[in-house]
Amino acid sequence: MSEPVNPPWGLSPGQAAAVQAVIDTGCNKGAARLRDVSVKTIEVQAGDALRKSGKSNRLQMLIAFDRHMRGAA
């Protein structure tokens, strides 16, 4: 899996990859398997991404991230 290009909100490449993996798989466990990291790593990186995004909840953050990445492609 390649790292997302031009992630929003100043996300690190790892945070952006974690968020994209959650979008791709629909869950933390699947994202962890896809990225070959622990579930805790996904939880921490996605949580950091949520804080940086300023969104109210995780679903809003995932939708905004996906829209940004589709627009950037």
| Residue 1 domain flag | no
Count CB atoms within 10 A of the CB of residue 26.
11
For residue 5, the model assigns a pLDDT of 76
Contacts 24+ apart (CB under 8 A), 23-32: 23/62, 23/65, 23/66
In a domain, 38, yes or no: yes
Residue 42 pLDDT: 99
pLDDT of residue 1: 60
CATH number at residue 18: 1.10.10
Q: What is the pLDDT of residue 2?
A: 62
Q: Which of 16, 13, 6 is nearest to 49 (CA)?
A: 16
Q: So what's the pLDDT on residue 73?
A: 57
Domain residues for the domain of 12 are 8-72
CB atoms near residue 55 (< 10 Å): 17
- Domain total of the chain: 1
Q: Is residue 2 part of a domain?
A: no
Residues of the chain with pLDDT below 70 are 1-4, 72-73
